[in-house]
């Protein structure tokens, strides 16, 4: 597709369940980012993938959060044993190379934990 695609666009889950959020970056983009945005808050960095390098996981808030990127393309963010404080918009972005110069965001996955 032309842009970064995320799914699902909306997810309501019960506390304690696991969720998976998917990101399909722009074709040819080697860098992929996950950010989180809570209501009225700024973008909080979660994890960064660049090519075949080890991901930068320094933003993951706890060991319940993990992400992988298969084949240098699609990425999945997994949240285990969800908590209410995990409710937020999870934004994926990609860029052409690992420079961070211009990153292109998807529309986000809105997660609500009830």
In whole angstroms, how large is the CA radius of gyration of the chain? 13
> What's the first-to-final CA gap in the chain, in angstroms?
33
Taking CB under 8 A as the rule, does residue 79 contact other proteins?
no
Task: List, in sequence order, the alpha helices (H) in 1-114.
Answer: none
Taking CB under 8 A as the rule, does residue 99 contact other proteins?
yes
Binders of other proteins in range 17-56 (CB under 8 A) = 31, 33, 35, 41-43, 45, 48, 50, 56
Site residues for other proteins per CB under 8 A: 4, 31, 33, 35, 41-43, 45, 48, 50, 56, 91, 93, 98-108
């Amino acid at each position: 597709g032309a842009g970064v695609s995320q799914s699902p666009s909306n997810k309501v889950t019960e506390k304690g369940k696991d969720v998976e959020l998917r990101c399909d970056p722009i074709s040819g983009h080697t860098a992929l980012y996950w950010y989180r945005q809570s209501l009225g808050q700024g973008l909080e960095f979660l994890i960064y993938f660049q090519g075949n390098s080890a991901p930068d996981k320094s933003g993951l808030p706890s060991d319940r959060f993990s992400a992988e990127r298969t084949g240098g393309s699609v990425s999945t963010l997994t949240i285990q044993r969800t908590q209410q404080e995990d409710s937020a918009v999870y934004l994926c972005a990609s860029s052409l190379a690992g420079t961070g110069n211009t990153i292109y965001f998807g529309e986000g996955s809105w997660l609500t934990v009830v």
